[in-house]
Amino acid sequence: MSMAGMSGGRGRAAQAALHLGLILACLAVLLPILWVTRVALVPASMSYAPGILPEQSTENFDALFAGRFPLSYLNSLIVSAGSVVLAMPFAVTLGYAFARFGTAGRAGRFAVLATQMLPPVALVLPAFAILRSLGLTNSLLGLILVYGALNLPFLTWIMMGFFKGIPVDLEWAAMSDGATAGQAFRIVVLPTALPGMAAAGVLGFILSWNEFLFALVLSGPRTATIPVALAGLQTSNGVQIGTVAAGVVLAVLPLIIASRFIQRFIVEGLTFGAVK
């Protein structure tokens, strides 16, 4: 066999091994999701029956909607969206100041990021004390304020990276045409940074949507979010696994829908500035 044939055979074998590895990785990610969906769609008595869907039923979803889960679902939407709306203006302005003017120096920028390294359990009690003094415990507004503050350092660093990827020449060109620095920022920089803002907003929404500890401590029965509601799906007979699976399926739907409709902005935002 010629050297070219041997080299081609090794190349095809490597490519096949790569594809096999990718398939196995995809299965490792998808199989748990598919299994949870299966458990949610079959009656609780048949959760462990053989077959993909031995019998389809809405029994688990009916049991879920009979309780307070719809209210928790609405609470999560309000809190997650509200925290993003609250944090993004500050993240945009801080990220721009850090990227363009080096505000606070390298130590100050690191201090902002270092707050993300604190364990949540070290922050939850001070947050509870502050909200109690303000009369905002067991309220959606309190959760919005806390989530916005928690996500602000992370979103600020994301936006700083995006603004560093925007050539400063664009602003100088706008100012040479008579625009002020504020007008150049509003007219040139912000539209260019929209993909990055979309990506940061989605990531902030996901972080707030999945947060459990602060919601557990700071919320009440009528202000509980989805993670707390799922943790509370326990009866005298133990955890109803089918109901929990139905709740998980509903909980991931907004994230899948959001990712589907703004996928382009997420990809553009996360790769923005990688190549100048």
Mean pLDDT of the chain: 82
Answer yes or no: is pLDDT of 77 > 70.
yes
Q: Tell me which of 61-70, 156-165, 187-196, 253-262 is least confident.
A: 253-262
Cα→Cα distances 54→22, 42, 238, Å: 30, 7, 24
Residue range(s) of every CATH 1.10.3720.10 domain in the chain: 61-271
Within 10 angstroms of residue 103's Cβ, the number of other Cβ atoms is 12
Q: Which fold has domain 61-271?
A: MetI-like fold (1.10.3720)
pLDDT of 25-70, one tens digit each? 888 888 888 888 888 888 766 655 555 666 777 888 888 888 889 9
Cα→Cα distances 262→81, 125, 178, 265, Å: 15, 36, 35, 5
Pick 77 or 164 by higher pLDDT.
77
Within 10 angstroms of residue 76's Cβ, the number of other Cβ atoms is 26
Within 10 angstroms of residue 226's Cβ, the number of other Cβ atoms is 26
Six token digits for residue 49:
């029956």
Six token digits for residue 134:
């303000």
> Is-contact 92 197, C-beta < 8 A?
yes
Dihedral over alpha carbons 10, 16, 20, 22 (to 10 degrees): 100
